[in-house]
Chain A
Amino acid sequence: MLEVKSLRAGYGGTEVLRGLDLSVGAGEIVAVLGSNGVGKTTLNKVLSGVLRANDGEIRFDGKTLTGNSSADIVKAGLIHVPEGRKIFPNMSVRENLDLGSYRRGRDRRSVNLERVFDTFPRLRERSGQAAGTLSGGEQQMLAIGRGMMAEPRLLILDEPSLGLSPLLVEEMFALIRRLNGDGLPILLVEQNVVQSLECASRAYILENGIFALSGSAEQVRNDPDLKRAYLGM
């Protein structure tokens, strides 16, 4: 579904991504793992059209998306749930969800709203409340719910477990599996190596702007370098 070829990007003269190749197939969960400052957020920004790539190609569903605007990318169904949620704090939960279908899925807004509320009953309870007053976990649910409103054909989840309590982290990964169970391909960008590898089918390890390691989750999990670097074993 999503294919990235020799992608290069950065800010000003600083190159952050130095040639990335990545693919996400239909129905897959693919994890991009790495610690802070290796380029995960930059990769997401390029994929969602917020930042221009310097070189390389992004193809989604057989169409080239390189250099397209965020609006076009959303329209194509490549939906990015950003790190730090980036919900609209001054607006109600309901309005946040409405805006999820601003560019895509507008005709089926009410049907999708019910679906999101069924997935997150908590959001239904709080639909009139200002989004900025929600707890961190609820805000994360809202951010994902807002993404679901656009009927994603592929969902990019950027650090969905960041800042959540251990119990909520478990819940979040269960939710990711559940979303994927309905056939939705997911690109999971995470620092949480152990749990991400448990739910992903394949994984890429990002280090200093290149993929230092990639393969099936099984292979990656058993790689001696990864064990030493990320799992302290």
Chain B
Amino acid sequence: MTEIPERADVVVIGAGIVGNSVCHHLAELGWRDIVLVEKGPLPDPGGSTGHASNFIFPVDHSREITALTTDSMRQYEKLGTLVTSGGVEVAREPQRVEELKRRMASARAWGVEAELIAPRRVAELVPFVDPDILLAGFWTPSVAVVDPLRAGALMREQAIADGALTVSANTEVTGIRTDRGRVRAVCTDAGDVETPVVVVACGVWSPRIASLAGAEIPLTPAVHQMMDVGPIPEFEATGTAIAYPIVRDMDALMYERQSGADLEIGSYAHRPILHEPDDIPSLESAALSPTQLPFTSDDFDPQLEQALELFGSILDRPDAGVRHAINGLLSFTPDGAPVLGPCPDVDGLWSAAAVWIKEGPGVGRMLAEWLTHGDCEYDMHGADIARFYPHQRTREHVRARANEGFNKTYGIVHPREQWESSRGRKLSPFHTREREAEAVFFEVGGWERPHWYASNRGLLDEFGDRVTHRPHEWDARWWSPIVEAEHLALRSRAAMIDLTAFAQFDVRGPGALDYLQRMTVAQLDRPVGRLCYTPVLTPGGGFRSDLTVVRLAEDHFRVITGGADGARDRFWFESHLPADGSASLVDVTSAVCTLGLWGPRARDVLAATTEDDVSGDALPFGTARWIDVDGIPVLALRVSYVGDLGWELHAPFEHGQALWDAIAGAGEPHGIVPAGIGVYGTTGRLEKGYRLMGAELDGEYDPVEAGLALPKVKAADFIGKDAYLAAREGTPAATLCTLTVDDHIGADGIARYPQSGEPIVTTAGERIVDREGRGSVVTSAGPAPSLGDYLLMAYLPPEFAVEGTSLQVEYMAERYPVTVARAGRTPLFDPEDTRMKA
């Protein structure tokens, strides 16, 4: 047996597919002195990798997940551990047929070959299926079965052959030593290993191992039931593990696949069965393996009937018995996405958890790049462990959301769908008033934000034909025509918008300016009172964030960023604070409430509440000043994300309701309305061509492509500067464009409205791909009520990024004509910004 080394550059804990892959890719990137510690035996240590069903359907609605999956498939194939079987997702219900059409759009968007097929064709591909109960199928020829244990073993062997890796199996981690918030050593029953970096790739045990270092990895072990029924002579005759395409019976939330002589049936339909990492049985006491728990047959019984319906021809036989059945454990997170990257709680501790077999090798590659370069090829913001706010890492929240999310695994999830559990966690001080105004709340980062106000229904009459009513239920779901009416009220009078969900950080100290200059693209060395909108870049020059920085004093800045990304931004800024203590960062999110006030009457409204001069001369666009609003100290920021005259009014949290009442009262004679985030984040923003982090902006696009490069480059160095300069020198591979939908009427005569995520194709129906291999996809979609248009944003390669170019958008398996209305950032509405700068 190999002795465990006393020192390592990195210790990876867990030899499942993820840990093995991380080791392999670190070795490829030149790391040496890698130690892999595994408590179980090799090659199957008893984690989820050992019992997973191992099939891969590449298409997901998420670009990030699809990229990880297709990258993983390439790696499995290269290792000779992939067998292509093809796979078909079948629909029993009409709404699932619609969902399969939506999957077609995602397949096209990400460049995966797929086809919608009729039930008869399904039965040709999988002869044992009863086509009479089916309505359609979504056929993906590249669906494959992989061998993650073998792939992992090969990855280890390569790293060992490179002289980069020492593997210590049957070795239990007993502690992770930290010192002043930094990882120092991994303690095991075979000895201690000093190391500056620890990667937790422990699957369902990850929370327990991370807690040894005082860190949290928010996931919960959950049961996925599966059984093998056989022998099936037709399968036996094939002499292989998989000769027929895999079937996902989507409406039954189940899958069926050949597994040698058996049909394997897996289910995501049963009640959520959550476990605790500490309660997973030990290797010794588990009958099968620690993650293969005893099958609870009552939970599976309803699925038996559905399996018999679809596969009766081979299951309803006296010789076909249930030969193996388990409650397999896998990891569920609050939002269903993996948990990757540096843990915010402890320096040097990295999470590589909540990863499916289909993503394992890709995650290993991304994590190795991230560890080596500080960022990676694919944008990982949806999987970043830093995305969770503290309350989202609690056991209660994790379990509540995992409980709710489990049955969404094969569910039809609307892109705007809201969670029902663990709500009401963060309430702005305006909440009481918002409830009185019948707000419909959406959640961001735990905050309850009004998306629109039902009490504004009267505006629908006022604005009549200018408001679009979406006739199709799917398009109208989680949306209201009231949003458009609120928008028009803002544009014609004034509206107040709750923006308390903003994350806000106060940065102070003699080194504050230098520090922030290093973090951002824009020149922040401006007079006190100026505010700057600036990109924040990754080392590779992609978007890490975009935010506003206000200079409140020579050595005092406030950073204001979106609620969705506040936790990630805070971690990014905190982890780059100067080591000499010359700048400090305090998160003041909980101390500040923010009320947006915009519209042509905004100045009249604000002036009625304050004796301070709020004229354009005293408080011009792009400036900030403390004013008194009805006796409340308010930091007024002359800025707008909706492109109209007005302010963000920042006040001490406890004054919030009084501020609301003051503005509402002063606004009443002017016809002010409360407006929701539907206006702020969609309609107002899109008309003005403003970009949204996580939609248009992410690590895979740079400021030149996004149209957000600044006229001048500041002298100060900043993260991503080299790449930024290079991007400015070259021609962009794609340019962010705004498109109008020319005709909404589909084949059945009903007007349809794309929701984002759809591919943009040529008039001939060809997929559009830029020279970097990135497909053109709708990043945001929504109405522009002031223009009377419906807008889409998408990155287009130079040959298509020409205003007036005719293209098509593919939505629900139909194509709709669109026109490039704007290439670049100039807004379609009020292009000179005269309203905003009034």
Query: Is chain B a partner of chain A in the same complex?
Result: no
Chain A residues close to B by CB (< 8 Å): none
Chain B interface (Cβ < 8 Å from any Cβ of A): none
